[in-house]
Amino acid sequence: MSIRPRVPRFLCSAVLFWGHCARRFLSARAIQRAIRRREFRMVYQPIVALDTLAFSGVEALVRWHRPGRGGVPPDRFIPVAESRGLMAELTRHILDLVARDAVSLGLGAQHRLAVNISGSYLATQAFAEDIRRFMGRLGPDRPVVVLELTERECLPDSPLVRHNMAQARALGALWSLDDFGTGHNSLACLDRFPVDHLKIDRSYIRGIGTGSIRAVVLDTLIDLARRLNLAVVSEGIETEAQAAYLRDRGVALGQGYLFAKPLEAADLAAWR
Ligand code: C2E
Ligand code: CA
Ligand code: CA
């Protein structure tokens, strides 16, 4: 008869819980190390004209593959980078990755290249110079750079923020308010920061055809954009019915799994 040593159950639970926390916990140092080790890469989701389905550009989305631990979704590490004051460093690295991919993306002046910009980065001294350098690296036939402003925290209405927005616009960039209709990216924000596009959050697109109040709000948001003369881009389009609904209401541009998932730069040419 073998005698198996009995490990107290509470100890097992503690070890499992510790392992769970260690996997979930992300430190600022881990993000900075990943930048140095070049563990981040970019993928690009096609944006199409909803009426003709013509390719109109891409949104750049960051990916992090931690060796030995697998992929970490941006929804997990971007909030950590924001709360630890790392967004300037991380976005500068992202802009460098996008600029390196620019040739293989094969975008021309008729296309758009959307990049996500968090409010905390927009409120830094280096922002305008970083964008100038980034746009310079895209060359003379560069696509229209669209800066998608996402605020998780309420953006300070400071002279620096206004100056940075104006500088980017003077360079030829357009501003889009991302995740419109959620959190802080709502009417108050629109009033304070002049933008060119509204990007309607995919939670509203999911509401299409469900009879939920979200569908009613979606109609109101599209109408609002029309009255303010702002172009609307919809994200998260997954079904033909959603695309048709948006097309019927005059929404010009869209992206979502119905058309394409985010792709490696090298795979974009084949998709087009
Ligand atoms: P977002 O800017 O709203 O980006 C859209 C998200 O929806 C992306 O998730 C994209 O992969 C996903 N998506 C696209 N089409 C569909 C669809 O049809 N169905 C569904 N269910 N999802 C779809 P992702 O790449 O995981 O990014 C999540 C968020 O992380 C982004 O939301 C953005 O806020 C942030 N993020 C991603 N890349 C960057 C970046 O380079 N810089 C910054 N500052 N934030 C980023
Ligand atoms: Ca976005
Ligand atoms: Ca969104």
Helix H, strand E, coil C: the string for 139-185 is CCCCCEEEEEEECCCCCCCCHHHHHHHHHHHHCCCEEEEEEECECCE
Kindly write down the DSSP assignment for every residue of 36-85, as one continuous string. Answer: HTT-EEEEEEEEEETTT--EEEEEEEEEEEETTTEEE-HHHHHHHHHHTT
- Out of 12-16, 171-175, 221-225, pick the least confident: 12-16
Q: What is the pLDDT of residue 193?
A: 82
Instruction: Answer yes or no: are the C-beta atoms of 98 and 115 closer than 8 Å.
Output: yes
**Residue 65 binned pLDDT confidence (cut-offs 50, 70, 90):** very high
The model's confidence at residue 18, banded by pLDDT at 50, 70 and 90, is: low
Do 233 and 198 meet the contact criterion of CB atoms below 8 Å apart? yes
Ligand 1 pocket test, pick from 134, 235, 237, 259 with the greatest ligand atom count within 8 Å of Cβ, gives: 235
Q: Which pLDDT belongs to residue 182?
A: 81
pTM as predicted: 0.91
| Closest C-alpha to ligand 1, atom 8 | 61
Selected residue with higher pLDDT from 183 and 195: 195
Tell me the C-alpha to C-alpha distance, in Å, between residue 21 and each of 14, 15, 26, 27, 174. 10, 10, 9, 12, 41
Task: Tell me the C-alpha distance between 270 and 104, whole Å.
Answer: 11
The three-state secondary structure class of 108 is coil
Instruction: State residue 124's pLDDT score.
Output: 93
How far is C-alpha 219 from the chain's CA centre? 23
Q: Which of 149, 94, 85 is nearest to 117 (CA)?
A: 149
Contact 178, 198 (CB under 8 A): no
pLDDT (0 to 100) of residue 153: 62
Average model confidence (pLDDT) across the chain: 89
- Write down the pLDDT at residue 113: 98
Lowest mean pLDDT among 6-15, 59-68, 123-132, 246-255: 6-15
Q: Which residue ranges have their beta carbon within 6 Å of ligand 1?
A: 45, 60-62, 73-75, 78, 94, 116, 118, 150, 178-179, 202, 235-238, 255-257, 262
| Residue of 116, 122, 149, 182 to test ligand 1 pocket, by largest number of atoms within 8 Å of CB | 116
First-to-last CA distance in the chain? 68
User: For 170-191, what is each residue's pLDDT tens digit?
Assistant: 999 999 999 888 876 677 777 7
145-159, 198-212, 245-259 — which is least confidently predicted? Answer: 145-159
Long-range pairs of 199-204 with CB within 8 A, sequence gap ≥ 24 = 199/148, 199/232, 199/233, 199/234, 199/235, 200/232, 200/233, 200/234, 200/235, 201/235, 201/236, 202/234, 202/235, 202/236, 202/256, 203/236
**Residue where the block lists tokens 């009879």:** 211
- The DSSP secondary-structure symbol of 198 reads E
Mean pLDDT of 46-64: 97
> Is it the case that residue 19 has pLDDT exceeding 90?
no
Give the residue-averaged pLDDT of 123-137.
96
pLDDT at 1: 46
How far, in Å, is the centroid of ligand 2 from the Cα of 154? 17
Q: Separation of 200 CA from ligand 2 center, angstroms?
A: 10
